[in-house]
Amino acid sequence: MATDELVKTTGIAQHGASRLPSVDVDSFNIEIKDDDGFLGDRASKGAFRDILEEWRKPLRKSGEDPFGDEPSDKISKKALDAVLIGDDTEATAVVHSAIEDFAQELAYVTRRFLKTKAWAKTECIVVGGGFRASRLGEIAIARAEIILKSEGFKVDLVPIRFDPDDAGLIGALHLAPSWIFEAYDSILAVDIGGTNIRCGIVETRWKKAPDLSKAVVFKSDLWRHADGEPSREAAVKRLVKMLEGLIEDAEAEGFKLAPFIGIACPGVINADGSIEKGAQNLPGNWESSKFNLPASLIAGIPEIGGHDTAIVMHNDGVVQGLSEVPFMQDVERWGVLTIGTGLGNARFTNRRKEGGNGKDRSSADNGKKKAKENNKEDRQNDKE
């Protein structure tokens, strides 16, 4: 069957859509450059490691490096978090120094985003990605917010509420139309990254919270494809196998699994499911005009529960950000930055509709939303 025919069987929404059930996606995957290259490289997890290394160099020369011979990129986030509350004041000072420098970089990058037309009037920015899943990440985010506010930017920076690994799956719920939640209690979600591919059964818990704020990842499966050099075809085959296993698990647990798969994938996602650019870290050539991931998955999993499989794919930064939809109902314009191998980004405008997927206004104030004042002033003219 031709690729075009397969893609048409999705029948729910176009891939990479700018209009989703709960929000309009104003922009995603913006690539801003400065004299040193891509702006996102200044606020990535690799950038933090480079900063940490710079602070260790003078101590290493005097033989007083508290981290010894351990390479900066090999020190775990858990170990660095432990240093922050440990008794070695010199090691603590090194980590705090790195956090401060990184926060300055994050504030600089955020400032540049806020000055673009697409990010004008942004009231809140959620920060996700693997770096956020640490105490040092949380401190860096809070410090960046303080820096921006000291410069007159009336924007909140908050860590993403779900674990970043879960957020990349839970956000897929907000790619689906609301009728799915009335008829089914779970979906399949896929989060594709440059290092891992993660699949999961996402339990909606829609009856407990129609805004999807109580959704959870019931079970997930992880494949670290970066450990090998699989071909694109082998990666798709492995992904199909992972999804088939989760379908069996859902059936065994008694879930009413929707015939829907939401996919988060790096890069610019075209309406037909092809990837225009930004997938260079994935196994094989995913940007080929002859490759279409949704079509390949439908070929491998044509039905779920006796119904035709529907698939919607969007940028991974967008999907991770969508997990915050229930908690962003007291603002109008908000964004997400994901700190990982690179810096993912997306900006959203809420669509004020009562009821439905993530639009239950009565439950927006659910105690998880950070209590901060709303600000809707135009910051296009703020100084850097």
Q: For 231-268, what is each residue's pLDDT tens digit?
A: 999 999 999 999 999 999 999 999 999 999 999 999 99
- Which of 338, 348, 291 is closest to 316 using CA atoms? 338
Give the pLDDT of residue 366. Answer: 34
The whole-number average pLDDT for the span 187-214 is: 95
Q: Please tell me the predicted confidence (pLDDT) of residue 371.
A: 27
Is residue 364 scored above 60 in pLDDT?
no
Which residues are 34's β-sheet partners? 37
Is residue 5 exposed (0-12), middle (13-18) or buried (19+ Cβ within 10 Å)? exposed
CA angle 199, 204, 208 (to 5 degrees): 155
Taking residues 64-77, report their average pLDDT: 92
Picking from 278, 285, 271, the residue whose alpha carbon sits closest to that of residue 230 is: 285
φ/ψ (deg, to 5) at 39: -60, -40
Q: How far apart are CA 218 and CA 38, in angstroms?
A: 37
Q: What is the radius of gyration, based on Cα positions, of the chain?
A: 21
Confidence of residue 363 (pLDDT cuts 50, 70, 90): very low
Query: Is residue 349 scored above 90 in pLDDT?
Result: yes
**216 pLDDT tier (thresholds 50, 70, 90):** very high
353 — pLDDT class (breaks 50, 70, 90)? low
Reported as a pLDDT band with limits 50, 70 and 90, residue 162 is: very high
Report the first-to-last Cα separation within the chain, whole angstroms. 54
Residue 128 has pLDDT above 50, yes or no: yes
Residue 3's pLDDT is 45
Q: Report the percentage of the chain scoring pLDDT > 70.
A: 88
Q: What is the DSSP letter of 138?
A: H
More confident residue, 373 or 52: 52
246 versus 377: the higher-pLDDT residue is 246
Average pLDDT score, the chain: 87
**Model pLDDT, residue 11:** 52
Mean pLDDT, residues 29-58: 88
Partners of 193 in the β-ladder: none
Q: Give yes or no for residue 198 having a pLDDT over 80.
A: yes
Distance from C-alpha of 54 to C-alpha of 47, rounded to nearest angstrom: 11
Task: Write the DSSP assignment of 22-43 as a string of letters.
Answer: SEEEEEES---EETTEEGGGGG
The more confidently predicted of residues 194 and 82 is: 82
141-160 pLDDT per residue, tens: 999 999 999 999 999 999 99
Question: What are the CB-based long-range contacts (under 8 Å, 24+) for 227-235?
Answer: 229/283, 230/283, 230/284, 231/283, 231/284, 232/282, 232/283, 232/284, 232/285, 232/286, 232/291, 233/284, 234/283, 235/197, 235/282, 235/283, 235/284
Residue 49 three-state SS: helix
pLDDT in tens, 323-333: 999 999 999 99
Mean pLDDT throughout 109-120?
94
Q: Is the pLDDT of residue 357 over 70?
A: no
Mean pLDDT of 203-228: 94
